[in-house]
Amino acid sequence: MIFVIDVGNTNMTLGVYEGEELKATFRMMTKTPRTSDEYGVMLTTLLTTKGITTDMIEGCIVASVVPDVMHSLTGGILRYVGVKPLIVGPGLKTGIKIVTENPRAIGADRIVDAVAAYEKYGGPVLVIDFGTATTYDLVTEEGHFAAGITAPGIRISSEALWSQAAKLPKIEIQKPKSILAQETISSMQAGLVYGQIGQTEYIIRKVKEESGLADLKVVATGGLGRLISDETDTIDVYDSALTLDGLRIIYEKNRREK
């Protein structure tokens, strides 16, 4: 079994694969400070709840956009799970060539998503991750990571509303019954959700226009991706396991290389 971990700005998403089958998934908060022992105990406990023991784990791979947690996390994996994790970064074989101006500035999560989208759906493909930030990444038919767009995620936008405007409350992010809102909460929901839909459709249209790739396949993932993809026909596929699949694919590429 392979243990895969995506360390995002808000949450960590974890999965266990047996071959190509995703056997279990977990989520943990990223921002809570933890020691390597705390990570180790939490990870082994989570695995145990799914009937998975550490001796069943033969390898691990981690993609992270939060450097501060990596020392404790990798220490916990090494000491408690008993494997040395691969870390997504320079020197790791991915199958994707980054042709942007500064390849090292591309986040590990975006590389992983690009790998998964290209391997699973082919190219050219535009992969959209609705996470803490909403990212749009273009992979060409040849497997080149050619361009990326970064926008505030829905949660960042919602937090900005209620933290910066004294009379606006915290709300649940969901589609309201109508865009013609008549009270504060549905008004905020309408702006957030329909605003994100509008942004998504416009960016997809502009990427297709400027790249000349009218047949570009659009694949979405991320926690709030389903909410948006269900409301627009500009997204072809919603794949909730895209990032975890990308980690598994990269692990397999590097294991074969060895």
Catalytic residues: 109
pLDDT for res 31: 84
Q: Is residue 208 part of a domain?
A: yes
Residue 9 lies in a domain: yes
In this structure, the answer to whether residues 76 and 124 fall within a common structural domain is no
Instruction: Please report how the helices 108-121 and 242-257 are oriented relative to each other, as an axis angle in degrees rounded to 10.
Output: 90
Local confidence pLDDT in tens for the 258 residues of the chain: 999 999 998 899 999 999 999 999 999 999 888 999 999 999 999 999 999 999 999 999 999 999 999 999 999 999 999 999 999 998 899 999 999 888 888 999 999 999 999 999 999 999 999 988 999 999 999 999 999 999 999 999 999 998 999 889 999 999 999 999 999 999 999 999 999 999 999 999 999 999 999 999 999 999 889 999 999 999 999 999 999 999 999 999 998 655
For the chain, how many structural domains are there in total?
Answer: 2
Residues 116, 73 share a domain: no
What length is written for the chain? Answer: 258
For residue 123, give Cα distances in angstroms to 212, 232, 248: 14, 21, 19
147 and 228 co-located in one domain: yes
Q: How far apart, in whole angstroms, are the C-alpha atoms of residue 147 and residue 209? A: 14
Q: Are 184 and 91 in contact (CB under 8 A)?
A: no
In this structure, what CATH number is given to the domain that contains residue 196?
3.30.420.40
Question: Which domain range does residue 107 map to?
Answer: 97-240
- Tell whether 78 and 129 lie within a shared domain: no
Could you tell me if 80 and 111 lie in one domain? Answer: no
Q: Are 83 and 101 part of one and the same domain?
A: no
The answer to whether residues 117 and 228 belong to one domain is yes
Residue 95, sorted as left (phi over 0), alpha (psi -120 to 50) or beta, turns out to be: left
Same domain for 22 and 54, yes or no, is yes
CB 153 within 8 A of CB 131: yes
DSSP letters for 141-164? TTSEEEEEEEEE-HHHHHHHHHHH
Question: pTM of the entire structure?
Answer: 0.92
Q: To 5 degrees, how large is the angle CA 239–CA 233–CA 113? A: 30
